Amino acid sequence: MKKNILLPFFLIAGLLVLSGCGLKQANPKQYTINLEIWGLFDDTDVFRDIFDAYAKTNPNIGTVTYKKLSPDTYKKDLVDALASDQGPDIFLIHNDWLPGFEKLVYPAPPEILNEQRFRDNFVDVAAQDFITQGLVGAAPLTVDSLGLFYNKDLFNEAGITSPPRNWIEFVEAAKKMTKIDAQGQIIQSGAAMGTAANINRATDILNLLMLQGGTEMVDLVDRKAKFDQYVSQGDSNVSPGENALSFYTQFADRGSAVVPYVWNPRMHYSIDAFSEGTLGMMFNYSWQMEVLASKSPKLNYAVAPVPQFAGSPQANFANYWGYAVAKKRTPDTRGTDPAEAAKVTNDVRAAEAWKFLSFLTTAPTAPGFDPAIDYLTKTNKPAARRDLIEKQRADVRLGAFAQGNLIAKDWYRSNPDAVEALFFQMIDQVNRGQVSTRDAIKAAAITVTQMMNQ
């Protein structure tokens, strides 16, 4: 993606609202609404041009304020504020939070952003995560999915000419790059696979393997987990979920006859090992490129699409954020005549917030300033919009993630934090030999089913 993509506005017979943002030609000013946005990661400067542009297109918008919060306390601070109707108008929501936030968000009015327009604009996983009963609950600027980070120097030393495209090639590459000393200690690992505590986003990698293997994670009609179930495959019955757990954990099993022993709980944390040059491959998201740049700016690495299972539909796993609108909040009408301010209801406030989000995230239908392009150019993040993903696919930094976003998947978790802890425990118990993979996954499915029916 080229830098500084800022296209001029077109002024036609006065003030126009960009088509594609859910607004038509701007009406005369009726009131003033000030919007407050809560977010993470980005600084206010990233949005300054976007806020200025929108103020010119919508005379009813006064000031748009962005507040960057701490990731450590964000969810609690947000839930507490929303519960007391003292939260922001617009806020970031993680892609697996919507089931727990449905009573706290105001869905998009269909005349501003409906299901069909959302699906036309964004990758499939965004619709899977943010559309409930035909209504849009949140809209993303960026989507992230797993990429395969690989050390080019270690690949060259091992005689590996290209990153693995499937899991058979991945196993072979991991084996070639792994070095074990005379005492049986791993001194160089081909891949960060097999454990939970010292592999960043280990549970996401397990989710990736499950989804690629065709695991049906949950049944929303019967409200039960299904990732432990057996299915008919040829002349036998197999459990794709159990197979995924077994495949993953065997990389940390010294006695495995299926995959090479490449990792154990005593290894350095995966990101540290990769930055130190002692790890050949790891799975992670685009935001870790900044971490690696700070830890080891001269590290010779690249990112490739994640391997796939031969003969199975391609899949990746998504981890990203979108913007939602608060269900209730007293409209901030400072600057409005008191007699007119009384007419500004919560519904009017929410509609104005969604008009802004539509402007921010969806594609304009006429030439002009594109807020999403402006944002992605400044932040170097993979796009959520289909049309922008097509432009990013050839990008050296973002191409693998852009390609991954098109096949990214997710699954419904009524309590995502608890499910993540459960999957972490499942991996750890198998590593320790406390339970078999069959017993571990069966117990986890029972617990997830209980969560869905609480």
- How do residues 118-127 score in pLDDT, each as one tens digit? 999 999 999 9
Rounded mean pLDDT of 335-346?
Answer: 87
Q: Are 66 and 40 in contact (CB under 8 A)?
A: no
pLDDT in tens, 181-191: 999 999 999 99
The encoded tokens of residue 176 equal 């070639």
Is pLDDT at 22 greater than 50 in this prediction?
A: no
pLDDT of 1 above 60: no
* 402 and 395 Cβ atoms separated by less than 8 Å: yes
State both tokens at 334: 């400072």
- Across 71-143, where does the E strand assignment appear? 90-94, 131-132, 135-136, 139-142
- 263 vs 9, residue with greater confidence: 263
pLDDT attached to residue 211: 98
**CA distances, 323 to each of 142, 189, 304 (Å):** 10, 39, 28
Q: Residue type for 107, please?
A: P
Task: Report the distance separating Cα 143 and Cα 322, nearest Å.
Answer: 8
**Which pair of structure tokens corresponds to residue 323?**
């913007």
Task: Assign 27 a pLDDT band (cuts: 50, 70, 90).
Answer: low
Cα(209)–Cα(34) distance, integer angstroms: 45
- pLDDT greater than 60 at residue 18: no
Helix (H) or strand (E) run with residue 237 in it? strand 236-238
Lowest-pLDDT range, 83-87, 176-180, 185-189, 316-320?
Answer: 83-87
**Class for domain 147-317+414-452, per CATH?**
alpha beta
Q: Locate 418 and state its tokens.
A: 């608890």
**248: phi > 0 → left, psi -120 to 50 → alpha, else beta; which?**
alpha
Summarised one tens digit per residue, pLDDT across range 281-298 is 999 999 999 999 999 999
Cβ atoms within 10 Å of 252's Cβ, excluding its own:
23
- For the record, the structure tokens of 220 come out as 């929303």
Q: What percent of the chain has pLDDT over 90?
A: 88
Average pLDDT of span 211-231? 97
The pLDDT mean for the chain works out to 93
**Which amino acid belongs to residue 128?**
Q
Instruction: Evaluate if residue 15 carries a pLDDT over 70.
Output: no
Distance CA 366, CA 374 (A): 16
Domain ranges in the chain?
33-144+320-392, 147-317+414-452
Contact between 189 and 172 (Cβ < 8 Å):
no
Structurally, what CATH architecture does the domain formed by 33-144+320-392 represent? 3-Layer(aba) Sandwich (3.40)
Q: Residue 442's pLDDT band (boundaries 50, 70, 90)?
A: very high
Flag the least confident range among 2-11, 230-239, 356-365, 386-395.
2-11
pLDDT of residue 114: 98
Model confidence at 26, pLDDT cuts 50, 70, 90, reads: low
What is the average per-residue pLDDT within 203-226?
97
The reply to whether 147-317+414-452 shares the fold of 33-144+320-392 is: yes
Which pLDDT belongs to residue 273?
98
User: CA angle at residue 319 from 169 to 193, to 5 degrees?
Assistant: 35
Q: What value, to the nearest 5°, has the Cα angle with vertex 349 and ends 346 and 355?
A: 140
**3-state SS, residue 52:** helix
Percent of the chain past pLDDT 70, that is, above it, reads: 94
The pLDDT tens digits for 138-180 are 999 999 999 999 999 999 999 999 999 999 999 999 999 999 9
Q: Is the pLDDT of residue 338 over 90?
A: no
Task: Work out the pLDDT band at 46, boundaries 50, 70, 90.
Answer: very high
pLDDT value, residue 25? 45
- Residue 23 confidence (pLDDT) above 70: no
Coil/strand/helix, residue 219? strand
